[in-house]
Chains A and B, each alone.
Chain A
Amino acid sequence: MTTNGMLIFLMGFLFLFLGYLGVPVAFALIAGVLAVTVFTPVSLPSIMAQLFNGIDVEALLAVPFFLLVGELMTSANVTVRMITLSQTMIGHVRGGLAQVVTLFSMFFAGISGSSAADVAVLSRTLGPEMKREGYGLGFTAALIASASTMANLIPPSIMAVVYGATGNVSIGGLFLGGVVPGVLVGIGLMIYSHFFGPVGIKRQRSSFGQFTQATKNAAVPLMIPIIIMGGILTGFFTPTEAGVVAVVYILLVAIPCLNRGHIRSLPHDMALTGLLYSIPLITIAAASAFGWMLAYLRGPAVVSGWIAGAAGNDPFMIMLLLVLLFVVVGDFIDAIPAIIIFMPIIAELTQTADIKPVHMGVVIILTLAFGLITPPYGLALLMASKFIGVRFSTAMIASLPIYVVFFGAIAFCIFFPDVVLWLPKHVLPESVGCFKNPGGAGYICP
């Protein structure tokens, strides 16, 4: 093994060793980088500058805004209206509550960009009700965790923001590209719950009047996805600005209209979100320094060389190998540091195989979202099992059949790029490499 190879191994080993011993991820990453830096000509103060550079990115401002949107909606109890709407739409079918979990997650994914908020809301609201109706605790935790992964796919998605910001890929394109896999996972979970999940209690179909009333009640929160995506797609807002406009809408319209009493709690919400956003962002800063050192040691060139050597220039094969890599990586590392650390490898392979960056981004994000429910580091499943009160191993066993849904969605996204890219191509053509026709109207897409 070359010196660089040994240093990469040492850095990775230290990170995983310290991380699994219980050192916070950000500090484990920094410790790994600092230890290796001593053996290189790189100065230690410049590593501190890398920490700073990792978060000195305007696009990352969207992360706190999307977290704030989720936090405000949850703490102001506005999300209950969306749950009621989901119940009137689909609560009467077989496994009604399980279907409601999935449908609500699809709605909520359009508001919050984080699985954690989704898991917290569902575990608190529908979790106890599912228990009363006789759904197994393992199934409940597995379904809630799996459904929450859609928050990373259906826009706005924090993973897409981080991927776009670090990989210089259109965030709007990634948002739109995430719609197809998000809906695929949602439909897959609904089919699974219908045919293989518990029956639950049979409910009466809601009347049209009840549905209309529930839609009316949920209209204010349902405007948020329209504001966010509308602003981005019309080109009026960047994703960051769309996030802040959504926050302003909630503060000035949603909360005063729907839960005026919550205004007193806003300082608490702001303080909590101020704390919450720093946690992923310091991890991003540390992962950036880690990724920078990895690139300095020519790690990406070596790994992408291995993958390109095995797959040649075949884009499907390269994507399959990358998915395999990220399934393993996602089992051990959180998605955000994984994206940043491995971005140089992804970028190099995307170029080598001439894959559209948005297509590659969607596949990687979907794979990492799947990592949220796989052991040993399935964060969404860990949280859901903790909130529902069931052993992680029980929830994991219950989630095994659901893996098929994710494998299906990943395979679909790899082999049908035209379907995945259809929406970005028609709404944001430039995001997928199309350019304005110099000789007339429309776009030319290579």
Chain B
Amino acid sequence: MQAQRHLKWRALDGLERVLMVLCAIAITGFTVTVVCDIATRTIGRPWLWLQEVTMTFFIYGVFIGTAAATRRNDHLYLAVLAESLTGRKRLAFETFNRLVVLVVALCMIYYGYLNFLDGFRSLRMPSMTPLSSLYAAIPLCGILVALFTIEQLVNGWRHGFAEPTGEPGASHGGPGSYPL
């Protein structure tokens, strides 16, 4: 929460906390459902709907985690060119990078919504729930990513993108980043 504090609004800290709790719920949820799947299969009375619930937790977990990772700057990066720059150059690079993320997030919202509407024509088996129930995760993620990106842009322009000296936390590439 304290990492890159200067790029965050305190008002959105609560939302980040909620997203982290949802991440924990998602992973706990599909851990429990997979355990139940093994158990019910072992006793010879499988609950077929468990796999649907598992995938719901899993997919929502991915997209919610993606949004949280955007605020925490925990994504996977190829390079962090902007961090080695200072002044106007850095401002320009950081702004451009975030604008790209913002455009992608807006596409996720708009085209994700169209895809969500399209999803009502397909059903998940065996519950016959529309596929839209899962597709909804994409525009939802887009909204959150857009919100956090705007937050970083506005604060970056006001306070600068560089980490103020002595401020706790690390920028991306630190222990929070988790390349495979």
Of chain B, the residue at the smallest CB distance from A231 is B38
Given contacts A22-B97, A275-B20, A277-B61, contact A377 B78 (CB under 8 A): yes
| Given contact pairs A20-B78, A25-B78, A274 touches B27 in the complex (Cβ within 8 A) | yes
Task: Report the Cα distance A20→B111, complex, angstroms.
Answer: 26
The answer to whether B178 touches A276, judged by C-beta atoms less than 8 angstroms apart, is yes
Q: Is A68 an interface residue (CB 8 A)?
A: yes
Residues on B with beta carbons closer than 8 Å to the beta carbon of A60: 58
Q: Do A48 and B38 touch across chains, with their CB atoms under 8 A apart?
A: no
Evaluate contact between B76 and A26: CB separation under 8 angstroms. yes
**Given A22-B81, A24-B101, A270-B27, A383–B55 Cβ distance below 8 Å?**
no
- The reply to whether the CB of A19 lies closer than 8 angstroms to some CB of chain B is yes
Flag if A282 contacts B62 (CB, 8 Å).
Answer: yes
**CB atoms of B23 and A278 under 8 A apart:** yes
Flag whether A34 is at the interface (Cβ < 8 A). yes
Q: Which residue of A lies closest to B55 (CB)?
A: A56
Within 8 A of A (CB), among B100-118: 100-101, 103-104, 107-108, 111-112, 114-115, 118
Task: Select one of B25, B34, B93, B178 contacting A279, CB under 8 A.
Answer: B178
Q: Give the CA-CA distance A304 to B94 in the complex, in Å.
A: 38
Q: Is the CB of B180 within 8 A of A159?
A: yes
- B96 contact set on A, CB distance < 8 A: 21
Q: How many residues of B contact A (CB 8 A)?
A: 66
Cα distance, A247 to B38, chains bound together (Å)? 14
What is the CA–CA distance of A67 and B5 in the complex, to the nearest angstrom? 27
Query: B68's closest neighbor in chain A, by CB?
Result: A275
Assess A379 versus B179: contact at CB under 8 Å? Given A21-B97, A24-B75: yes
What chain A residues lie within 8 Å of B100 (beta carbons)?
18, 23, 27-28, 31
Bound-state CA distance A278–B64 (Å) is 8
Verify A120–B175 contact, CB threshold 8 A.
yes
Chain A residues with Cβ under 8 A from B134's Cβ? 52, 56
Q: Provide the main secondary structure of the chain A interface.
A: helix
Closest to A237 in B: B38
Closest beta carbon of chain B to A427's beta carbon, Å: 22
For the complex, give the distance between the alpha carbons of A351 and B137 in Å. Answer: 37
**Chain B residues near A102 (CB-CB < 8 A):** none
A30 interfacial contact with B, CB 8 Å: yes
Total A residues in contact with B, Cβ cutoff 8 Å: 74
Bound-complex Cα distance A285 to B63 (A): 10
Q: Please tell me if the beta carbons of B180 and A336 are within 8 angstroms of each other in the complex.
A: yes
B38 and A334 form a contact (CB under 8 A):
no
B72 to chain A, nearest CB (A): 7
Across-interface contacts of A55 in B (CB, < 8 A): 58-59, 62
| A376 CB–B CB distance under 8 Å | yes
Chain B nearest CB from A334 CB (Å) reads 6
Complex contact B35–A281 (CB within 8 A): no
B128 contacts across to A, CB distance below 8 A: none
Cα–Cα, bound, A109→B78 (Å): 25
B25 CB contacts on chain A under 8 angstroms: 274
Take A19-B78, A20-B78, A376-B79 as given contacts and tell me if A48 and B135 are in contact as well, using a CB distance cutoff of 8 Å.
yes
Give the chain A neighbours of B26 by CB distance below 8 A.
274
**Could you tell me the dominant secondary structure of chain B's interface residues?**
helix
Residues of the B chain whose Cβ atoms lie less than 8 Å from the Cβ of A45: 111-112, 114-115, 118
Q: Are A116 and B23 in contact (CB under 8 A)?
A: no
Residues on B with C-beta less than 8 A from A27 are 75, 100-101, 104
User: Which of B25, B65, B72 has most chain A Cβ within 10 Å?
Assistant: B65
A218 to chain B, nearest CB (A): 25
Of B81, B101, B178, which one neighbours A116 at CB under 8 angstroms?
A: B178
Measured in the bound complex, the distance between the Cα atoms of B70 and A296 in whole Å is: 30
- Give A103-132 as 1s and 0s: 1 = Cβ < 8 Å from B's Cβ atoms: 000000000001110001000000000000
Q: Does B174 contact A (CB under 8 A)?
A: yes
A319 within 8 A of B: no
Complexed CA–CA distance, A51 and B119 (Å): 14
Q: Does A244 contact B (CB under 8 A)?
A: yes
Q: How far does the alpha carbon of A277 sit from the alpha carbon of B59 in the complex, in Å?
A: 11
Most A CB within 10 A of own CB, among B59, B70, B79: B79
Bound-state Cα–Cα, A44 to B107, Å? 9
**Residue B54 at the A interface, CB < 8 A?**
yes
Whether A48 lies near B104 (C-beta < 8 A) is no
What distance in Å separates the Cβ of B14 from its nearest Cβ neighbour in chain A? 15
Give B96's nearest chain A residue, CB to CB.
A21
Q: Are B27 and A64 in contact (CB under 8 A)?
A: yes
Closest to B65 in A: A278
- Min CB distance B48 to A, Å, is 13
The 10 closest A-B pairs by CB, nearest first: A278-B65, A274-B23, A24-B75, A19-B78, A271-B24, A379-B179, A45-B115, A45-B114, A48-B115, A270-B24
The chain A residues found within 8 Å of chain B, CB to CB, are 16, 18-28, 30-31, 34, 44-49, 51-52, 55-56, 58, 60-61, 64-65, 67-68, 114-116, 120, 152, 158-159, 237, 240-241, 244-245, 247-248, 267, 270-271, 273-283, 285, 332-336, 376-377, 379-380, 382-383, 386-387
Q: Which residues of B contact A (CB under 8 A)?
A: 20-28, 30-31, 34-35, 37-38, 51, 54-55, 58-59, 61-66, 68-70, 72, 74-83, 93-94, 96-97, 100-101, 103-104, 107-108, 111-112, 114-115, 118, 134-135, 137-138, 173-175, 177-180
What are 18 A-B residue pairs whose CB atoms fall within 8 Å in the complex?
A19-B79, A21-B96, A24-B75, A45-B114, A47-B111, A49-B118, A114-B180, A116-B180, A120-B175, A244-B38, A248-B31, A275-B65, A277-B61, A277-B65, A279-B66, A280-B179, A283-B76, A335-B180
Given contact pairs A44-B114, A47-B111, enumerate 6 new A-B contacts (beta carbons under 8 Å).
A31-B100, A48-B135, A49-B118, A56-B55, A335-B180, A379-B179
